[in-house]
Structure 1
Amino acid sequence: MSVKAKKHLGQHFLTDKNIAEKIVKSLHHTGQYNTVLEVGPGMGILSDFLLKETAYETYLVDVDTESYLFLKNKYPHLEDRLINGDFLALNFEKLFPGKLAVIGNFPYNISSQILFKILGHRDQVAEVVGMFQKEVAERCAEKPGSKEYGILSVFLQAYYKVEYLFTVKAGVFNPPPKVLSAVIRLTRNETNMLDCDEKLFWQVVKAGFNQRRKTLRNALSAVISKEQMGDDPLLDLRAERLSVEDFVRLTNLVKRYQLSVTSDSNRP
């Protein structure tokens, strides 16, 4: 019995056991968590190593009912730790009371959504090891100054150490994807809260990169009027040149500008 890969789910099943073992062994086992959640296990090539070589409480979640039934037959002992559902809709607080790691050969068609889901639960997710399309993996790990550096790079690197581990060729998948793949590792850093208004930080980063060819003075005009921006040199740069720390400083500048506008408007 096997599971047929479904195009609409973005399924490309890994077939190389050596790579599967390498992915599982890329977990740091930092001691911060005792639960591992695998996303999109398919026929269980990663799961075999997770269940055999780690002492963690392992959960598997797959939206594909065919995969779920295959895995239910293969791992009957998992019982309610095998979930037939959408990772993006999981209630982390209800299912996983403590910290956890997330691992998987992630469906490429929702890889960015998966990462934003993880960011939304960054206080729970201590580590991530995952297979992505190579371009997405590079974007996650990219440093300031390149065209690949973007919104996802900044948000992930604000809360995680991001490491590009290795590249994976198309021939080790069934069916082979039309792109190269890569494995990255995210390790939660010590930042509990950014030193700025975090909601505004997200707005500033998005505004900067949504018009990345413009300087930040022009790109941020939707957040604060150019007349109120002042002359900080950061404003004369493009978003791709700024580090996480620069964006934090820029967010604090914008906040001060906003507060000064509010203060001026309240004067009699």
Structure 2
Amino acid sequence: MQYTLKKSLGQHFLTNENICKQIVTALQANPFTNLVEVGPGAGALTKYLLPLENIHFKAIELDDEKVVYLHKTYPAIAGKIINADFLNISAPFEGHFTVVGNFPYNISSQILFKILDWKDQVPVVIGMFQKEVAMRVAAKEGSKVYGIISILIQAFYEVEYLFDVPPESFNPPPKVMSGVIRLTRKQTSFPVKSQKEFILLVKMAFNQRRKMLRNAVKGLFTAEVLQDPFFNQRAEQISIEKFAALTFKMNTGVKVDRNTDDLNLAD
């Protein structure tokens, strides 16, 4: 059975068997019993995941045609596919589950923020991203690519950049290099005044990342607090721990009931 590639879904199917095996090897470095694959597509990675022993497996696939293809090509997947948009589903398992996938590049950042909603259930994520996005997620303070997504993911997960994946590993080949990263849930997180205030502070700081922090976030602090020389820095110089600590100095009168769902969190 043949299938069609759909640009609208950001489909670049992995065809390099060695890369598939590397991902599975990285996956097995941490024990798990429940596994979710996001966007199995034509099943290049799925065929290595289905035989894993003593594992409860589910694959989330939006494309109806690929669901039919997977059922016909890999009979063992029967009863294990959720034909839905990953961004709109409820947690696929009640307990802990690991997430793996060659994530569609057009929604890869949104996938990470969806996983953040489930952070108490998801101890490990191994995902393929456009390299630029993977580097941004893994970036530390002081880096030019350190930004909102770096901080909000690393506030809860340790991030390791595992390896590059060249364009010729896919059909069709993307125009960019790809990269695989591993997220491992931190045992403890930095205390914050509230998660909404933390997100709002980080968002505002990086919305004007070339300005001194004092000018970028002046609406969130009293004039007295803003006199501190700490605010002479730019956002990219400030660690996650310091952003978290800063939330406790935010003006108690600031409104944080705004919807953070529409923020450009992938800065």
Q: Which amino acid aligns with 1:258?
A: T
Q: Map 1:161-240 to 2 at 5 A.
A: 161-191=158-188, 194-225=191-222, 227-240=223-236
Q: Which moved more, 1:6-15 or 1:49-58?
A: 49-58
Judging changes above 3 Å, is the alpha-carbon distance between structure 1 residues 218 and 147 closer, same or farther for their aligned structure 2 residues? same
Structure 2 match to 1:127: 124
Residue 223 (structure 1) shift: 2.4
CA RMSD in angstroms comes to 1.7
SS in 2 for 1:146: coil
Instruction: Give me the whole-angstrom Cα distance separating, in 1, the residues matched to 2:165 and 2:155.
Output: 27
8 Å CA contact 1:164–1:184 kept in 2: the answer is yes
Instruction: Give me the whole-angstrom Cα distance separating, in 2, the residues matched to 1:71 and 1:81.
Output: 11
8 Å CA contact 1:162–1:187 kept in 2: the answer is yes
Structure 1 match to 2:81: 82
8 Å CA contact 1:36–1:57 kept in 2: the answer is yes
**Equivalent residue for 2:247, pick from 243, 251, 262:** 251
SS in 2 for 1:161: strand
SS in 1 for 2:163: strand
Instruction: Give me the whole-angstrom Cα distance separating, in 2, the residues matched to 1:128 and 1:167.
Output: 17
Sequence identity of aligned pairs in percent? 48
Instruction: Give me the whole-angstrom Cα distance separating, in 2, the residues matched to 1:53 and 1:28.
Output: 10
Structure 1 match to 2:10: 10
Q: Map 1:7-156 to 2 at 5 A.
A: 7-31=7-31, 33-92=32-91, 95-156=92-153
Instruction: Give me the whole-angstrom Cα distance separating, in 2, the residues matched to 1:107 and 1:50.
Output: 19
Residue 236 (structure 1) shift: 1.2
Structure 1 match to 2:238: 242
Instruction: Give me the whole-angstrom Cα distance separating, in 2, the residues matched to 1:160 and 1:24.
Output: 20
**Equivalent residue for 1:159, pick from 152, 156, 159:** 156
Instruction: Give me the whole-angstrom Cα distance separating, in 2, the residues matched to 1:176 and 1:30.
Output: 30
Judging changes above 3 Å, is the alpha-carbon distance between structure 1 residues 213 and 193 closer, same or farther for their aligned structure 2 residues? closer
Q: List runs of 5+ in structure 1 lacking aligned partners.
A: 261-268
Residue 28 (structure 1) shift: 4.6
Q: Which amino acid aligns with 2:184?
A: T
Count of residues in Structure 1 that have an aligned counterpart in Structure 2 = 254
Residue 195 (structure 1) shift: 4.0
Instruction: Give me the whole-angstrom Cα distance separating, in 1, the residues matched to 2:217 and 2:55.
Output: 45
Q: Which amino acid aligns with 2:19?
A: I
- TM-score after normalising by structure 1: 0.89
Instruction: Give me the whole-angstrom Cα distance separating, in 2, the residues matched to 1:222 and 1:20.
Output: 48
Q: Which moved more, 1:195-204 or 1:37-46?
A: 195-204
Judging changes above 3 Å, is the alpha-carbon distance between structure 1 residues 54 and 176 closer, same or farther for their aligned structure 2 residues? farther
8 Å CA contact 2:164–2:178 kept in 1: the answer is yes
- TM-score after normalising by structure 2: 0.90
SS in 2 for 1:183: strand
Judging changes above 3 Å, is the alpha-carbon distance between structure 1 residues 155 and 2 closer, same or farther for their aligned structure 2 residues? same
Instruction: Give me the whole-angstrom Cα distance separating, in 2, the residues matched to 1:192 and 1:141.
Output: 17
